Amino acid sequence: MKPRVIRKQIQGFLIAGGLATGFHWSVMSLLIVGGFSPVIATGVGAGSGAALNYALQRGLAFGSSLSHKLAIRRYAVATIAAWLFNLIIFALLNSVLGLPVVIAQFITTATVAALNFFIYKRFVFNE
């Protein structure tokens, strides 16, 4: 694949992911302020961000022409795995290691984002 295409995919991935992550963090923050535990809040936030992320990744990053039926099934598998990974990493960083919520979520988000790019490119939107 040409470096220009990969660069465009990475840029689209980061824009789409940034918007979805902003939504995730907004939902998470509102839930924490509302009295939910940070672990529950990040789980719900991640699920909310994932719903927005599908359409943005499909169009902005990967320009996939796969049928929605197939792509959504693949995306669901990838999202469930990423959601669980997000929850486990955050819980370890925040609850076990005692890192503050913002730092734990930042590290978690960066880790999950790197994993997601690879999975989306090779599995979810791969024709």
Write down the pTM of the prediction: 0.73
Instruction: Dump pLDDT digits (tens) for 111-125.
Output: 998 999 999 999 999
Q: Contact at 8 Å (CB) between 89 and 111?
A: yes
Q: What local confidence, expressed as pLDDT, does residue 1 receive?
A: 66
Domain boundaries, the chain: 3-124
Q: How many degrees, rounded to 5, is the angle at CA 122 between CA 121 and CA 124? A: 75
Q: Which residues contact 27 (CB under 8 A, 6 or more apart)?
A: 41, 44, 45, 48, 49
Instruction: Dump pLDDT digits (tens) for 25-68.
Output: 999 999 999 999 999 998 899 889 988 999 899 988 898 889 99
Distances (CA, A) of 63 to 89, 112, 121: 30, 21, 11
Q: What percent of the chain has pLDDT over 70?
A: 99
One-letter identity of residue 117: F
